[in-house]
Structure 1
Amino acid sequence: MSRTRDRARRHLKAHPLALDAALAAGVLVCMVAGSYVDPHGKHGVDWGIRTPDALSLVLIALGALALVFRRRAPRTVLALTGTVSLIECVVGDPRAPVAMSAVIALYTVAYTTDRATTVRLGLLTMTVLTGASMLAGPLPWYAQENLAIFAWTGIGATAGDAVRSRRAVVQAIRERAERAERTREEEARRRVAEERLRIARDLHDVVAHHIALVNVQAGVAAHVMDKRPDQAKEALAHVREASRSALNELRATVGLLRQSGDPEAPTEPAPGLDRLDELVGTFRSAGLHVEVARADHGTTLPAAVGLAAYRVVQEALTNVQKHAGTKAKAEVSVVRVGPNIEITVLDDGAGEDDDPENGGGHGLLGMRERVTALRGTLTTGPRYGGGFRVHAILPVKTRSRAPGDPV
């Protein structure tokens, strides 16, 4: 039964003209039946005591016919039904309930327009029909039929406005729910994009650092293989160590992409400034002269800040290795200044290409994104007299950034 009812409802929604025609037919039957009823008969409400004249039947037919087009032109239909109702109120004797069509038309206007239009047209219809009935109609001005016209037109306007308001409230609730759902989906996509960017930065830092070391050590091994095999073996040992470190870090980073049901991959804690000596040692073993100065007074950094500081030093020294060469000298300083920790990497630009910004890579961009994500600042650029400078300021205490906050 419910399935049949739902199917019928969908069919009527798909064919609104058929629904309006059925409504018009029902109103026509009610008006014709009402025109034969005498509410003031000897036995209360008597049926068949009075008979409508030809004019009343014509007006009834015109009012019902106009209702077929009530959705297409609601104001025009209201004007037509109001006109035939006005004629019936003035000349009808006995009076037929033609005003029923005007009530339906007024309901449609209230349902399809705004409240201001409903009030304006509703008051106009009520005043004109009621005034004409009282002043020019065949019945006394105090007859209940005159008051009924006033009441029913007011009910029609009020009911239409109430239904329109309810539909508007339901539509607003639905739109808010859809907007909230879209916001959740956009937030989820944003978080996924940020996580992908973070993983991409990690992969870039790991690959760029270790591959640069492998390249330098392999070149050293090839150069001294024939004359100094012991030094070549040492260089190859550094190649093996750098490649092992790269594989371990890649395995830990890619392990973040595994699904919850996948086997757990071996991971290790994220590197921080506690591993700075180890990091600098890899560059020294590759032939780069690096000096370190620390004045952070044993500051314990959050994992995110420590990782960002580590990656800044790693990327900066990798750029020195690639662009300035092993003959260059680099200086790394870590200083605690108030609520921030400052990391500075300088080189003297001994190589031919002393400007990493000319390389076209994404290292500097990745560093800037890392630092900015923690509400820090990063400045890079060539030094006066030659060389390059990387300076990062990171807050020791971090807080999560809400969507829409300025970076």
Structure 2
Amino acid sequence: MSTLLRARTWPKTHPLALDAVLAAAVLVCMVAASFVDPHADHGAKWGARTPDALGLTLMTLAAAALVLRRRAPRGVLAATAVLSLVELAADDPRAPVAMSAVVALYTVASTTDRPTTWRVGLLTMTVLTGTAMLAGPLPWYDQENLGIFAWSGMAAAAGDAVRSRRAFVDAIRERAERAERTREEEARRRVAEERLRIARDLHDVVAHHIALVNVQAGVAAHVMDRRPDQAKEALAHVREASRSALNELRATVGLLRQSGDPEAPTEPAPGLDRLDELADTFRHAGLPVEVARADQGTALPAAVGLAAYRVIQEALTNVRKHAGPEAKAEVSVVRVGPNIEITVLDNGTGQHAGPGGPDEDDGHATEGAGAGGGHGLLGMRERVTALGGSCTAGPRYGGGFRVHAILPVKSRTAPAGGGTTA
């Protein structure tokens, strides 16, 4: 197999050697043809004539020029054409030096464009054939003269066909390579989007529920000795929050399963229909939350509903973590034309008041700021922007913090961040 492969690649790796072999073969053919007299009687054509010194010299020079046909195709064509013209005008009987010009014309046609092939081909055919008809002792319509015209025409046509096929194959190969690169880039883009979406979901789930667990566990530890009933209630909330976190994590991780893995959970993604339940979890954690809705019972697409739910969840989680123990939160959901507007306000007085306060989790204190390494507000904006909406967050005048998101009721895109499972 390796020997066959080397044999196939040898012409490409040794083009000059291949041209030398071709030139030698053309020289043999020209010398052999010079011994044939096409006008001799049948059966006595071979050996009826012999080439003279001028003919042998011209054939040798023409064959030698073919060695350089790839490096200078037009120069080789000009040289072989001149040698052919000298032979046609001065030698009798004629030697087939024009055979080298035919090979050179084929090379030019196979390495240039079609208009050039037409111009060079017609010029070569006309000059060689015209010289043969006018200068030779034979009748102008002799088969040798017509043969020069036919062979040069076929050489130009064959070279143009080879060039066209080579260009066609190169174009197909280029399209295949471009399609392969496009598929790889698309696959990488989809993987990156999916990773980003899962990262946002994991952040939202973990930040929300772990914050609640932390608060309730602190309450239980504080009142364990003096008020065991209240400690028991706090631990019940811890258990409920942890169970919810596990369920949402299981649903999120289920997206990573392969087709042969066990079936992923089919619980629908959370949306604004679960807003009251979400608010209750924060109330149980000690954060007063007021909810006002004027969305007229609008049914939202799953991606929009999930984004709205996550924005409110993240905003309230940050209020509970950063706004101080006396903070209160207000959530409003309003239908305004083709959009749903969501606003989360708090009156926090903590050192990092509001849902944008920088800490180990969220590093964006205000719109456009990026002092830390957090992902909460960044995730909000990515979710909303991916659906064609907008999200702003920043301190309120007089204290507190405000998160405001505008989401189109009908999302204009189908982003990776708008999945249908939590």
Q: TM-score, length-normalised on structure 2? A: 0.87
Question: Is 1:346 aligned to 2:359, yes or no?
Answer: no
- Equivalence for 1:388: 401
Tell me by how many angstroms 1:174 deviates.
2.0
- Equivalence for 1:364: 377
- Equivalence for 2:336: 337
- Equivalence for 2:420: none
- Equivalence for 1:145: 144
- Equivalence for 1:290: 289
- Equivalence for 2:310: 311
Tell me by how many angstroms 1:47 deviates.
2.0
AA at the equivalent of 1:129: L
Which has the higher mean CA deviation after the structures are superposed, 390-399 or 123-132? Answer: 123-132
- Equivalence for 1:180: 179
SS in 1 for 2:37: strand
Distance across 2 between alignment mates of 1:3 and 1:127: 48
- Equivalence for 2:231: 232
AA at the equivalent of 1:395: P
Distance across 1 between alignment mates of 2:273 and 2:393: 24
Question: Is 1:106 aligned to 2:105, yes or no?
Answer: yes
Change (3 A) 1:402 1:15: farther
Tell me by how many angstroms 1:85 deviates.
1.2
Distance across 1 between alignment mates of 2:278 and 2:46: 105
Structure 2's unaligned 5+ residue stretches are: 364-373, 417-422
| 1:329 and 1:350 in contact (8 A); partners too | no
Distance across 1 between alignment mates of 2:2 and 2:140: 51
Pick 1 or 2: higher relative contact order, CA cutoff 8 A, min separation 6: 2
Distance across 2 between alignment mates of 1:44 and 1:326: 119
Which has the higher mean CA deviation after the structures are superposed, 270-279 or 139-148? Answer: 139-148
Change (3 A) 1:242 1:401: closer
Which has the higher mean CA deviation after the structures are superposed, 77-86 or 143-152? Answer: 143-152
| 1:289 and 1:330 in contact (8 A); partners too | yes
AA at the equivalent of 2:131: A
- Equivalence for 2:57: 58
| 1:28 and 1:64 in contact (8 A); partners too | yes
SS in 2 for 1:297: coil
AA at the equivalent of 1:398: S
| 2:322 and 2:357 in contact (8 A); partners too | no
1:7-406 paired onto structure 2 within 5 Å: 8-43=7-42, 46-266=45-265, 268-359=267-358, 360=363, 361-401=374-414
Which has the higher mean CA deviation after the structures are superposed, 276-285 or 142-151? Answer: 142-151
Change (3 A) 1:220 1:6: closer
Tell me by how many angstroms 1:316 deviates.
0.8
Change (3 A) 1:241 1:5: closer
Change (3 A) 1:133 1:384: same
AA at the equivalent of 2:396: R
| 1:289 and 1:327 in contact (8 A); partners too | no
Tell me by how many angstroms 1:236 deviates.
2.5
Identical columns (%): 81
Change (3 A) 1:3 1:318: closer
Structure 1's unaligned 5+ residue stretches are: none
Distance across 1 between alignment mates of 2:24 and 2:224: 104
Distance across 2 between alignment mates of 1:45 and 1:162: 38
Distance across 2 between alignment mates of 1:299 and 1:230: 41
| 1:70 and 1:108 in contact (8 A); partners too | yes
Q: TM-score, length-normalised on structure 1? A: 0.90
Q: Deviations over 1:264-294 (max 9, x none)?
A: 3545221111111111111111111110011
| 1:316 and 1:390 in contact (8 A); partners too | yes
Distance across 2 between alignment mates of 1:314 and 1:256: 21
Which has the higher mean CA deviation after the structures are superposed, 358-367 or 129-138? Answer: 129-138
AA at the equivalent of 2:132: S
SS in 1 for 2:128: helix
| 1:40 and 1:46 in contact (8 A); partners too | yes
| 1:92 and 1:138 in contact (8 A); partners too | no
Q: Deviations over 1:200-222 (max 9, x none)?
A: 11000001111111222223333
Change (3 A) 1:217 1:401: closer
Tell me by how many angstroms 1:7 deviates.
6.2
CA RMSD of aligned residues (A): 2.5
SS in 2 for 1:389: strand
AA at the equivalent of 1:321: R
Distance across 2 between alignment mates of 1:158 and 1:73: 20
Distance across 2 between alignment mates of 1:400 and 1:344: 23
Tell me by how many angstroms 1:138 deviates.
4.2
Distance across 1 between alignment mates of 2:265 and 2:164: 61
Change (3 A) 1:350 1:259: same
- Equivalence for 2:419: none
Which has the higher mean CA deviation after the structures are superposed, 8-17 or 362-371? Answer: 8-17
AA at the equivalent of 2:57: V
| 1:378 and 1:390 in contact (8 A); partners too | yes
Distance across 1 between alignment mates of 2:175 and 2:283: 60
Q: Deviations over 1:96-129 (max 9, x none)?
A: 1101101101111111222343334334433433
